[in-house]
Structure 1
Amino acid sequence: MRSEAFRDLLDGLNSLDLASVTQQDKDEFRRLIFQVGAAHGVSLLGPDERVRTARQLLDEGLPRPEVRDRLMSRFHVGDSQAYRDITAALQIVPKPAGFWDYKSA
């Protein structure tokens, strides 16, 4: 499989509503995707993916210690690396909703 296919699976998993599946189930399926990716020689554990995940979790309003714990669980990194990823994610300024969606009068 190509890396894009694995990324599509991860994106689909991230978009699932927690009402239909538990966070524990999502984490387990994510681990399975990473294992299959590794078996196919595809590395999905890049720093960009960790930082992007940290930014998503911060945008959802999760406190930093919980974001750290999830990064450590998902990507099998230590707490220092998780905090570095959170710091990098905080450097990314999210676009406010509707900021560029105005119409000129």
Structure 2
Amino acid sequence: MYLFISGAEIFVVLVIVVMLFGADKLPEIARGLGKGMRQIKDATNDIKREIKNSAEKNDIDIDIASNIRKEINKVTDNFEDLSDPVKKAKDTIVDEITGPIKRNK
């Protein structure tokens, strides 16, 4: 669950809030919390946008994860290219060894 709070704990918090502020103040509190959350979200989006624009202006690559993923794929492809001949040789050797055994049965 969100923030590791169970349903019973949320209910207790809501009861306490209603007791402290009254039922008529709850919509105002909810609106205030909603505005605050929206302002925080807008501020973080502005910060992200500024960082991205600054990085693009200074030719800094901020997409590190995709670059790492590309490098890992390159290494994996190179490893597969190197290991394919070894696998083929192993298969040939196994076939040579098991071939006479299969023919004798």
Q: For the superposition of Structure 1 and Structure 2, which TM-score range results when normalised by the shorter chain? A: under 0.3
The higher radius of gyration belongs to 2
Structure possessing the higher relative contact order (Cα contacts under 8 Å, 6 or more residues apart): 1
More helix by share: 2
Structure 1 length-normalised TM: 0.24
- Using the size of structure 2 for normalisation, the TM-score is 0.24
